């Protein structure tokens, strides 16, 4: 009988488990406990604003 999880699914789950971990303490000390989350959605939004401002000038 085949397994329930394929190897590709298992690799994806393992990667997500590695990513889901607390921030190292030395980074919190280095950045003075200001950790920012920069998502690709915010990045795309900023690019769109820059594009619009360049078109209007």
Q: Residue 33: phi, psi to the nearest 5?
A: 65, 25
Query: Considering only CA atoms, which of 46, 19, 43, 23 is closest in space to residue 33?
Result: 23
Percent of the chain whose predicted confidence (pLDDT) is above 70: 82
User: Confidence class of residue 57 from pLDDT cuts 50, 70 and 90?
Assistant: low
Q: What is the pLDDT of residues 30-49, one digit of tens each?
A: 888 777 766 676 777 778 88
Query: Considering only CA atoms, which of 32, 14, 15, 11 is closest in space to residue 23?
Result: 32
Output the pTM of the full model: 0.40
pLDDT averaged over every residue in the chain: 81
Q: Residue 5: phi, psi to the nearest 5?
A: -100, 135
């Amino acid at each position: 009988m085949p397994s329930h999880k394929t190897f590709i699914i298992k690799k994806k789950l393992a990667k997500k488990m590695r990513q889901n971990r607390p921030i190292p303490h030395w980074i919190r000390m280095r950045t003075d406990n200001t950790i920012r989350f920069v998502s690709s959605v915010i990045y795309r939004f900023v690019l769109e604003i820059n594009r619009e401002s360049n078109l209007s000038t």
